[in-house]
Every structure is written in C-alpha cells, then in structure tokens.
Amino acid sequence: MSGSNVKEAINVCNNVVGLYRDLLNSYVSDFYIENHWNLKVSNSWKNFLEELTFVQVSELLNYDSQSLTYVAPLTLLCLQTILRKFSIQRKQVNVPEVFKIDDQLMKLLWKNVKLKKRHEIELMSRICYQAALKTNCFNIVDVGSGLGHLSRLLAFKYGFNVCTFEANSVLVNLALELDNKIAKSLISKHIKYINVVKPLHSSRRIEETLSSEDFLFAVKKAFANNQNNFQFGIVGLHPCGNLGSTLLRLYSESSGAKFINIVSCCYMKLSLDPGSHCGFPLSAFCKQTDYQLDYLSCETACHAIENYVDKIKITGYQHLKIHSFRAALECLLAKNNLRHSAVGNVKYETGLSFREYCRKATKKYDLTFCPSDLEMYENLVDATWVQVVKFYSLRLLLAPLVESIILYDRLFYLKETQSHCDIMPVFDSHISPRNHVLSARKIARPIHK
C-alpha cells in the first residue's frame, strides 16, 4: 500500500471511529445503568437489529459474507463497505515453507507446546528467515521470549544466532533447562539440525526509557560480540502494550538493527497521553494530525471477532446470555457502591441462573443481595439479553477500525524512519486473533564516494 493510500485509509478509519466514539467507549456492563440501547443506538439501527436472527448477526460481523439475507439501513451498509475497503484485511496470507526439516526435530521442538503457539512461532520463524535472507543478517534478538520456543525453532531449524530478553527470570531458567534437554536429545537420538549454538537467554526487562545505545550494549553483551558494525534483527511475538512501540523505536534508532518483525497485543495497555514514550500515536503524521484513541476503544480492538462469529453460529445461543448477566450484576454492584469493581470470571453452563452467576462472580466480596432485586434483574435479563448481545456485536463490528489505526500509525512510523515495511495477516485469525505481523527492514543507503 502506497503512502497516500495509507493516509486515506487511516483518515477514513479515524473519521468513522470519531462518529461512533460514544458507542465504542461504552462498557457493556453499563448496558442497563446507562440505558445504552435507547441512548446510544439510533432508532433505525435498533429497529433493524431487533429483527435480526443470530445467524444474521454473524453475517453482519463477517467481512467475507457475500450473500446477505437482510436489508440493512444505508448507514450500516456504508459502514460495512468502509470496513472492507479501509481496515487492514484479516484473511490469512500464505507464507510458504522455505525448506523441510527432520520430522524428529520438529517433534522434539513441539513437545509441550500448545497448538496456538505452534501455529504462531512456525509462521513467525518463516517471516524472520525471509527477512534474514534479504538483509544477510542471521543474528536475532527475541524480546519477551517466555519459555524460548520461538528462539529454539529459529536456532535449531533456521540456523539463527539467537539471544533473548525476558523479564521473568523463572521463565528464563526454564528456557535454559529446555534448551539443554533438547540439545542432549538431538545428540543422543542422532537428529539432524542446523545450528549447534543454543539460544542465549538473558533476564532483562526492556523499559520504555531504554536508550538505543544501552539496548545495543545489552545486545552485544548477550552475544559476547564487540564489533562496531554488529548487525541483528528483532522479533517480538505479541509484545504487550507499550513494549511493541518501544521495540519499533529501538529498531529505528539502532544502526545495527537491520530488520524487525512484531505481532502486537493488549492495545488497552498503550500509553495514550502525548509524550516522549507514548504508545500511540507513534508516527509524526498521526501526532501532527492529532489522532486520539481511548482506553475502551483500544480494549475493544483486542477482541476476537472471528471467534465470536463462530460462537454465534453455534446452535443454542444461551451461552451469550453471560453478557447480560454481567450488566445486570453491575446494577447490583452499583447499589453496594462497587460500580466497575472486578468480579470473578464465570463460564456459562446450561441452566446457569442469574442468582448462581452472582454468587460465583462475587465470591471475594462479602455481599448479600436482596432476593427481590435478584428476581427483578433475572426477569430483566430474560426479556432483554438479546439486545445486550446485539449491542456488544455493534461495538465488535467497529473494532477492526481501531486496530487498523494503531497499525497504520506504526506503519507510518517505520516509513518515516526509512524502512521497507508491510503489515501482513500471517496467522489464522480464528486461532490467533491478533494475527498481523508488522515487518520492516532498513533501506540500504547508497555509498557516496
């Protein structure tokens, strides 16, 4: 996508988010307290939504749905068109396998790794290998490496020299144990592998205030390399909140950093106040245009829209009643001066009553609710829970616009720092809802004689 097209896309996304900011910035738990259905949904949309079946709600949220079985208000049809044209596409792209490796090695590396994590690290490693070939750089820093599953795949399958930075020292020690265990198995079982050098693990938190000089020093120390022109790539698989923005800044400011691949998450943890270490906006373009997002908008952008569509399609929609239970409970909490207090997560089970839900959700509080209140709100839930689900669905419909604004801002930032960059839906969004890899590599500058 060209710079002008990106500007058009982010401007449109921002304008639409501005139009529906009040809807986006509404807690579903406040549905009854603040009368969301009557005050935050237009009459034309309400009349339309009240007639929709759950299958049609899933069509509304599904960007790929072509044969619609409903006639929507013109404003809603325009919104769907904008979503399809200007938000970043979520349909998974194909990332071909570069080469096959010994099945025994993969079996060893995948041991005790969940399927979601396997999916993510296999595809992310392919993207990193492509970047390494283009930059001729096979040193890589894995930030937020956890148990080191991605690092081991990069090292043993693709031949990278890997160092990791992980804030949790317990995970670092476990990663070291796994490295040693797997390395011994490779030798004892005569399994073929690329790299004899195990990942180098460091217990370190990458702070927002970290300078590029200190970052480079830490990288060189981890690799035990003092070369002036030492080069490396950066990878971050779901760096949380401001860590994603920090990694992009360190990449852009570090001459030794040749490429970066990150998949962001937890947008609601971004710092949204303008400042030197702001999580959003990051780019000069968005700062100059005074783009602003809110906590609730960013929180909505973290939801799993495809998974929710799948849930809606399930026969028997009673499990969606849990949204209404939570909103009704909020009314009871407000009566006890506990509005917006954290409650326990309760999984919906067939036959779960509102009374039982309240008991389970408020275990940590010493609360006794009035029986007449419980009965009144249970009746309210029975009469209106479908409205709550449809209100939640409206907010979810807008979520990709918010995520697109955040990712377009990061794309602008990388373009401003003279990088080849792209945003690719690398993961299957049904498996990994935050499925976009933001990939960049430095543009080689001509040598002047």
Q: Give the pLDDT confidence score for residue 417 in this predicted structure.
A: 85
Q: Are residues 163 and 215 in the same domain?
A: yes
Q: Are residues 145 and 245 in the same domain?
A: yes
CATH value at residue 438: 3.40.50.150
In whole angstroms, give the CA distance from residue 172 to residue 183. Answer: 16
Q: Are residues 173 and 281 in the same domain?
A: yes
Asked whether residue 277 is assigned to any structural domain, the reply reads yes
Asked whether residue 239 is assigned to any structural domain, the reply reads yes
Question: Is residue 180 packed enough to be buried (19+ CB in 10 Å), middle (13-18) or exposed (0-12)?
Answer: exposed
Q: Are residues 9 and 84 in the same domain?
A: yes
Asked whether residue 297 is assigned to any structural domain, the reply reads no
Q: Are residues 40 and 61 in the same domain?
A: yes
Span 99-125, pLDDT tens digits: 777 788 888 889 889 999 999 999 999
Helices 371-416 and 305-313: crossing angle in degrees, nearest 10, is 140
Q: Are residues 65 and 8 in the same domain?
A: yes
Name the E strands within 194-275: 200-203, 232-240, 257-265
Residue 449 has pLDDT above 60, yes or no: no
Q: Are residues 125 and 255 in the same domain?
A: yes
Q: Are residues 80 and 38 in the same domain?
A: yes
Domain that holds residue 363: 3-91+303-399
With the C-alpha atoms ordered 210, 211, 213, 215, is the resulting torsion angle positive or negative?
positive
Residues 6+ apart with CB under 8 A from 69: 55, 56, 59
- Find out whether 405 and 398 touch, Cβ atoms under 8 Å: no
Question: What percent of the chain is predicted at pLDDT more than 90?
Answer: 73
Q: Are residues 116 and 209 in the same domain?
A: yes
In whole angstroms, give the CA distance from residue 240 to residue 270. Answer: 8
Tell me if residue 89 falls in helix, strand or coil.
coil
Asked whether residue 98 is assigned to any structural domain, the reply reads no
Last-in-domain residue among 399, 415, 430: 399
Span 135-153, pLDDT tens digits: 999 999 999 999 999 999 9
Asked whether residue 349 is assigned to any structural domain, the reply reads yes
- pTM for the model stands at 0.93
> Dmax over Cα atoms in the chain, in whole Å?
86
Q: Are residues 386 and 327 in the same domain?
A: yes
Residue 277, token pair as written in the block: 């270490």
Asked whether residue 283 is assigned to any structural domain, the reply reads yes
- Find out whether 259 and 441 touch, Cβ atoms under 8 Å: yes
Q: Are residues 346 and 416 in the same domain?
A: no
Q: Are residues 154 and 66 in the same domain?
A: no
The count of domains in the chain is: 2
Per the omega criterion (within 30 degrees of 0), is the bond before 281 cis?
yes
Asked whether residue 157 is assigned to any structural domain, the reply reads yes
Q: Give the pLDDT confidence score for residue 194 in this predicted structure.
A: 65
Q: Give the pLDDT confidence score for residue 445 in this predicted structure.
A: 64
Asked whether residue 46 is assigned to any structural domain, the reply reads yes
Span 31-49, pLDDT tens digits: 999 999 999 999 999 999 9
